[in-house]
Structure 1
Amino acid sequence: MQAELPQRASPGPGETILAPVRFAMGIVDAPLRWLQRVFGIGGMAAFFLMPNMLIFGIFVLLPFFINFAYSMTGGTALFLADRSFVGGDQYARLFDCANYLNANSCTEDTFWTAVGNTGWFVILQVTLMIIVSLITALILNRDLMARSFWRAVFFFPVLLSPVVVGLIWKWILQRQGLLNFSLYGFGFEPYTWLNDRNWAFAATVGVSIWAHMGFYTLILLAGLQAIPKDLYEAAEMDGTRPARAFWRITMPLLAPNLLVVVVLVLIKAVQIFDEIYVLTGGGPGTSTLYLTQYIYETGFAAQLRNPGLAAAASILMGVVLVVLTLVQLSLSRSSEKKGARK
C-alpha cells in the first residue's frame, strides 16, 4: 500500500494579502543587494541620504545662491534675466551711514531702524524666553496635581498658527478688545495699547514669548527628567541647600539642552515676522518694524520694490545668524573642556 503524500496547505487570507507586498519587496531588494556589493556599507548610507540631500539642495542651497545673485543686481524687475548687474552697490547702499547709531544719518534709514528694533527685540526676548521657559520647566518637573494637564496647557500655544496668535492678541489689545473691557469694569479708561510705541514693542515681546515658550520648555523639561534623582538625594543627605544644588547639579547637567534652546531662540527671534506683522504691522510708525518685515516689504510689498536690496539685507542677516551660532557653539565647547579638566 502506497503512502499518501502530505497535502500542501492552502495559503491563508493573510498570506494572500502579503503576497503582493513580498513580491514588491523582492523587486526592490535585488538592486539594493547589488548596490551593497558594489559600493559597500558606506555607499549604501550615502544612497539613503541622497533623497534628503537632494531636497536640501533644491529648496535650501539653490535658493541661497539665487538670492545671492539677486543681491548683485539692481532695478525693479522681478526676473533675474531682466535685471542689471551692479556688483556690491546694494551692500554699499545698506552700509552708507554717517553714524551707524543714528538711523537718520543713513541712506537706507529704514534698514537701520529695523536693525535697531531687531537688536533690542532679540536682547529682551531671548533673555526673557530662556528665564520663563526654565522656570516653567522647573515647576512642571515637580510632583504637581494634574501635571500632564498643565504641560498640555503651556504647550498648546505652540500648536497655533502664528497668524492665529497675532489675531488673538490683536483682538485682546485693541481699543475695543478684551483687555480694555476687563479694565473698564474696574473703572479704568480704555487705552489704545497698540498705538503706543512702548506698549506696542512690549506687546511684540510678550506675544512671541507666549506663543513659543512651550516648545523650549519641553526641551528643558526633557533635560531635567534625564538628570538622575540619586544626585539630588545624595546632595540632600550632605545638607546641600536647594539653591546650591541647582547651580552645582541642575545647571551643569542641563547645559546641553540649554545651549540648544539658546541657539533656537536666537534664530527664531532674529527671524520673527508672522505674528508681529499681523499684530502691529510694524507700527505705530516703525517702532515694531523688524528685519524680516523690512526684507519682505522692500522686496515684495513696497510700491517701488527693490528685490536686490532685500536680497542683500537677507544675506547679511544670514551671515549674522551663522556667526552668532558659531560663537555660541565655540563658547559651549570651551566651557565643556574646562569642566572636563576640573
Structure 2
Amino acid sequence: MTVEAPPRPSKATGPIFLAPLKLVMGLIDAPLRAWQKVAGLNGMAAFFLLPNMLIFGVFVLLPLVINFLYSMTGGTALFLDDRIFVGAEHYQRIFSCENYANPKSCIEDGFWVAVRNTASFVVIQVAVMIGVALITALILNRDLRARSFWRAVFFFPVLLSPVVVGLIWKWILQRQGLLNFGLHQFGFEPYVWLTDRGWAFVAAVSVSVWAHVGFYALILLAGLQAIPRDLYEAAEMDGTRTSRVFRRITLPLLGPNLLVVVVLALIRAVQIFDEVYVLTGGGPGTSTMFLTQYIYETGFASTLRNPGLAAAASILMGLVLVVLTLLQLAAGRRGERKGAR
C-alpha cells in the first residue's frame, strides 16, 4: 500500500503570501534608510534606543520631577495648580526633632518610627536573606536526586504575587489559622502571632525571606556553577579542609554575585510593603509600619492626607537608597582591585 505525499503549494502562491510582508518591511525600511543617511551608522543606535528612552522618561524621570514638585507644595489638592508653594517646609517638619533616636521627640513622629522599623527590618532581613540564599544555593549545587525539582520548589514562591503571599501566611498565622490548629493537635494553646509586637515583626521578616529567597539563591547558584571545577579538584588533591575551600575559593569567586544580591536585597527590603501590609497592616500598633506604608498612608489612605509630606518622605528614601547603592558598588570595585593585585 502506497501513501501519497501531501500536495505541495504551487510556486505561484509564494509571492502572494510574501507580498504583504514585503510591503510592511518596505514601510519600515523607508524611515530607517532616511535616518541612516542623516545620522550615519552610529546614529542608528540612537534610533533604536529612542523608544526605550521615551518610556523611561515618561514613566521614571517625569514622575520623579513631579514628585519633587509635590514635595515643595502644601495642601490636600491633587493638581499642582491648586496647591500652595511652601518650599522646604515639609523637609523642615520631618527633621524637626530634639532627639532622632526618640521618635516621640519629633514633630513628625510617624516618619521616624517608620525609619526605625525599616532600618531594623533591613539589617535583619538582608542578613537572614543572604545567609539562607547562600546555604540554599550551596545545597542545590550538589549532585542531588531530582535536583531540578528542588530548584523549582525553592523558586516557586518568587512567582507568587506579594498579595497572595501575604494572604497565604495570614491564613496560616492568624489566631484560627493552620499553625495554631497544628499546635492545638499537640496540646498547645493557640497564640496570637500577628497581634504580638515581637512575633509580628518576626513574621514580617520570615515571610519576606520565604517569598524572595529563591530569586537570590538562583543568582548565587549561577555564580557557583561558573566557578571552575579544576580549583575544587586541586584543593581536594591537596587535602584542603572544606571550610578552608569555602573561604579561599568559593567566597572570593562568588564575590560579584554576592554584591549583586546584597544591592538587590537591600533595595527590596527598604521598599517592603505589599506582603507585610496584607499580613499585619502595619500593626500591632506601629510595630511593622515601614517607610513605604507611611508614605502610602500619609499621601493617600489617611483622612488628613498630605501628598506633599509623603512626596518629601519618598524623596528622602530614594536618596538614601542611591547613597547606599553607590557605597556598596564602591566597596565592590575596591574589592575587585585588591583581587586583581
Fold match, TM over 0.5? Answer: yes
Structure 2 residue aligned with 1:326: 326
TM-score, with structure 1 as normaliser: 0.95
* CA deviation after TM superposition for structure 1 residue 34, in Å: 2.8
Structure 2 residue aligned with 1:66: 66
Structure 2 residue aligned with 1:308: 308
Structure 2 residue aligned with 1:211: 211
Change (3 A) 1:234 1:83: same
Q: Distance in 2 between matches of 1:111 and 1:265?
A: 22
Structure 2 residue aligned with 1:20: 20
* CA deviation after TM superposition for structure 1 residue 23, in Å: 2.4
The amino acid that maps onto 1:105 is: S
Point out where structure 2 has 5 or more consecutive residues left out of the alignment. 1-8
Structure 1 residue aligned with 2:38: 38
> Can you list the C-alpha shifts for 1:61-97, whole angstroms capped at 9, x where unaligned?
0000000000001111121111100000000000000
* CA deviation after TM superposition for structure 1 residue 10, in Å: 5.8
> Can you list the C-alpha shifts for 1:97-117, whole angstroms capped at 9, x where unaligned?
000000000000011000000
SS in structure 2 at match of 1:288 = coil
Which portions of structure 1, spanning 4 or more consecutive aligned residues, are displaced by more than 6 angstroms? none
Structure 1 residue aligned with 2:152: 152
Q: Distance in 2 between matches of 1:294 and 1:66?
A: 19
> Can you list the C-alpha shifts for 1:288-325, whole angstroms capped at 9, x where unaligned?
00000000000000000000000000000000000000
Structure 2 residue aligned with 1:254: 254
Deviates more, 1:24-33 or 1:128-137: 24-33
> Can you list the C-alpha shifts for 1:228-252, whole angstroms capped at 9, x where unaligned?
1111111111222221111111111
Q: Distance in 2 between matches of 1:103 and 1:292?
A: 17
Structure 2 residue aligned with 1:80: 80
Deviates more, 1:30-39 or 1:68-77: 30-39
The amino acid that maps onto 1:173 is: L
SS in structure 2 at match of 1:104 = helix
* CA deviation after TM superposition for structure 1 residue 27, in Å: 2.5
Q: Distance in 2 between matches of 1:201 and 1:18?
A: 63
Does residue 276 (structure 1) correspond to residue 276 (structure 2)? The answer is yes
* CA deviation after TM superposition for structure 1 residue 41, in Å: 2.2
Q: Distance in 1 between matches of 2:309 and 2:32?
A: 48
SS in structure 1 at match of 2:48 = helix
The amino acid that maps onto 1:28 is: I
Structure 2 residue aligned with 1:173: 173
Deviates more, 1:228-237 or 1:151-160: 228-237
SS in structure 2 at match of 1:194 = coil
SS in structure 2 at match of 1:304 = coil
* CA deviation after TM superposition for structure 1 residue 257, in Å: 1.1
Structure 1 residue aligned with 2:264: 264
The amino acid that maps onto 1:76 is: T
Structure 1 residue aligned with 2:188: 188
Deviates more, 1:146-155 or 1:253-262: 253-262
Q: Distance in 2 between matches of 1:205 and 1:13?
A: 64
Q: Distance in 1 between matches of 2:327 and 2:14?
A: 58
> Can you list the C-alpha shifts for 1:24-55, whole angstroms capped at 9, x where unaligned?
11221233123223212221001100000000
Structure 1 residue aligned with 2:202: 202
TM-score, with structure 2 as normaliser: 0.95
Q: Distance in 2 between matches of 1:255 and 1:18?
A: 52
> Can you list the C-alpha shifts for 1:121-171, whole angstroms capped at 9, x where unaligned?
000000000000010001000000000100010011011110000000000
The amino acid that maps onto 1:35 is: W
SS in structure 2 at match of 1:276 = helix
* CA deviation after TM superposition for structure 1 residue 17, in Å: 2.5
Point out where structure 1 has 5 or more consecutive residues left out of the alignment. 1-8
> Can you list the C-alpha shifts for 1:159-209, whole angstroms capped at 9, x where unaligned?
111000000000000000000000001110001110100000000000000
Structure 2 residue aligned with 1:5: none
Deviates more, 1:263-272 or 1:238-247: 238-247
Structure 2 residue aligned with 1:139: 139
* CA deviation after TM superposition for structure 1 residue 14, in Å: 4.8
SS in structure 1 at match of 2:240 = coil
Q: What is the RMSD computed on CA atoms of the aligned residues?
A: 1.2
* CA deviation after TM superposition for structure 1 residue 15, in Å: 4.6
Structure 2 residue aligned with 1:3: none
Q: Percent identity?
A: 75
